[in-house]
Amino acid sequence: MIWVNQEFETVLGWSVEQLREHNLMVELYPDPEYRQQVTDTIQQADRNWRDFKTRTRLGQVIDTTWANIKLSDGSSIGIGQDISDRKKIVLALEETNRELQHLANLDGLTQIANRRGFDEHLQREWNRLTREAAPLSLLLCDIDHFKLYNDTYGHIAGDQCLRQIARAIAETLKRSADLVSRYGGEEFAVILPNTVAAGATQVAELIQARVQQLQIDHGRSPIAPYITVSIGIATTIPVQQVLPDALVALADEALYQAKAQGRNAYRLYSL
């Protein structure tokens, strides 16, 4: 290193006179392992920009990007830029995008996953469990005689009922990979990865018990004086040749059977 420009001095704090008494790479990259990584990368990436964490003379670590230009006489010129502000903007945009993605997959009324969130999570778990040859269970939960409830108590009470049911179902789930979503209207879906039929049945029983504990009055229900739910359960080991829609169809069929046999019940359809 025999020369640095004014921008180098301004950003990193080192003048050419000071650098003659110090090892530039040691000062900019004090960690030996990281310094070797930087050196190797710059030498191998002629004219290509690479990003590194660089230390200034005052000890501040900033984001920089460097390119190494090799000259015909065998020497080289290093060109660098301070990209700290750019990095901050990128990180802020990434956080904003994550938040927007979260909101896009969220049901505004119940604050659980919406149908889009359900579809994405089911496909993701289907793909993962296909590779692992592990079981996947799905529950479809339907609030019994919800139209009668809305007609009797009004839509504001109906919305509150939906929020309470969503919260009750969510409280029964203990694992991060489990997901409850509002599937549509008064229907909720529960995705249970790595769960066999017996485990899914247990979750269904817990959901029904939790909903009954709420004791939400439903004076016009022909089956109980309070809100109840019917649940269809389907379990399978995903395979690449089958779409996750097949599991949804089986859970829907099991839900139909639960409702046809009197509601406030669950039925299991297992493959």
Task: Give, in order, the Cα–Cα distances in Å from 268 to each of 23, 129, 131, 182.
Answer: 71, 20, 25, 20
Q: What's the average pLDDT block by block, 10 residues per block, for the chain (271 residues)? A: 65 74 78 83 69 85 80 71 83 78 86 95 97 97 97 96 97 94 96 97 97 96 96 96 96 96 91 53
**What pLDDT does residue 266 have?**
97
CATH superfamily to which 105-270 belongs: Reverse transcriptase/Diguanylate cyclase domain (3.30.70.270)
**Total residue length of the chain:** 271
Same CATH fold assignment for domains 6-87 and 105-270? no
For the chain, what is the radius of gyration of the CA atoms? 30
Q: Quote the CA–CA distance of 25 and 55 in Å, as a whole number.
A: 10
**What pLDDT does residue 195 have?**
97
Q: Quote the CA–CA distance of 130 and 133 in Å, as a whole number.
A: 5
Active site residues: 186
Q: Which residues contact 21 (CB under 8 A, 6 or more apart)?
A: none
Q: Is 71 exposed, middle or buried (0-12, 13-18, 19+ CB in 10 A)?
A: exposed
Residue 86: other Cβ atoms inside 10 A:
13
**What pLDDT does residue 47 have?**
62
**What pLDDT does residue 168 have?**
97
Do residues 207 and 242 make contact, with C-beta atoms less than 8 angstroms apart?
A: no
Task: Write down the domain spans for the chain.
Answer: 6-87, 105-270
pTM: 0.68
Of 190, 169, 193, the residue nearest 254 (C-alpha): 190
3-state class (DSSP) for residue 251: helix
Place of tokens 């008064």: 186
What are the contacts of 48-53 at 24+ separation with CB within 8 A? 51/83
CATH class of the domain at 6-87 = alpha beta
Q: Which residues contact 133 (CB under 8 A, 6 or more apart)?
A: 237
Q: Quote the CA–CA distance of 267 and 257 in Å, as a whole number.
A: 7
3-state class (DSSP) for residue 151: helix
Place of tokens 């829609």: 245
**What pLDDT does residue 193 have?**
98
Do residues 225 and 213 make contact, with C-beta atoms less than 8 angstroms apart?
A: no
**What pLDDT does residue 210 have?**
97
**What pLDDT does residue 41 have?**
76
Task: Give, in order, the Cα–Cα distances in Å from 155 to each of 131, 158, 216, 217.
Answer: 44, 5, 15, 15
> In DSSP terms, which residues pair with 256 in a beta bridge?
none
**What pLDDT does residue 270 have?**
54
